[in-house]
Amino acid sequence: MPIPKKPVKLCRAGGRVFEVYRKYDALVEHEVDVYPDFEAKPEYTAEGRPFRTAADTGCPHGRPQSPQGAPPGGYEAYGDCGGCIYFHREAPYAIIGVCGCEAMRRAPGSGAKDDENAQDQMEGNPHAQEK
């Protein structure tokens, strides 16, 4: 089943609007939400901070919010962005957020396409990422 053209919801983070679609997943035998894959195709705020989903994993700079500390084997092995102190959400339980870790930040203006998309989003164009 192809991904529908019409989004089922919009997620706001870092001055941007991201469209979320649904598709059928044969493994779980029902439809699931399809969020942007920021690990495969990174996107950044105008300030150079990376967008992430709460489920993104493998960051060497992650620090757990939990008072128990990192999971066995280290945070980078098992921790996800949703449990990291650097992950900033615009709404409680939002799936998409912005990484506030300085080590993950890039210089503003170092990626013209991402910065142009961020500027378009701030100007109210919800389809800017489709360029």
Task: Please indicate, yes or no, if residue 64 is contained in any of the structural domains.
Answer: yes
Query: What's the pTM value of the predicted model, to 2 decimals?
Result: 0.72
Question: What is the span of the domain harbouring residue 60?
Answer: 9-121
Task: Please indicate, yes or no, if residue 130 is contained in any of the structural domains.
Answer: no
Partners of residue 20 on adjacent β-strands? 9
Task: Please indicate, yes or no, if residue 24 is contained in any of the structural domains.
Answer: yes
Task: Please indicate, yes or no, if residue 63 is contained in any of the structural domains.
Answer: yes
Task: Please indicate, yes or no, if residue 3 is contained in any of the structural domains.
Answer: no
SS3 content of the chain, % helix, strand, coil (to 5): 20, 25, 55
Counted domains in the chain: 1
Task: Please indicate, yes or no, if residue 128 is contained in any of the structural domains.
Answer: no
Q: Quick check: 54 and 82 in contact, CB under 8 A?
A: yes
Separation of first and last alpha carbons in the chain: 24
Q: Could you tell me the CA-to-CA distances from 118 to 48, 54, 72, 83, 121 in Å, in that order?
A: 10, 20, 37, 25, 5
The tens-digit pLDDT sequence of the chain (131 residues) is 565 578 999 999 999 999 999 999 999 999 999 999 999 999 999 999 999 999 998 788 888 777 666 656 555 555 789 888 999 999 999 999 999 999 999 987 776 445 445 444 444 444 334 33
73 burial via Cβ count (<10 Å: 0-12, 13-18, 19+): exposed
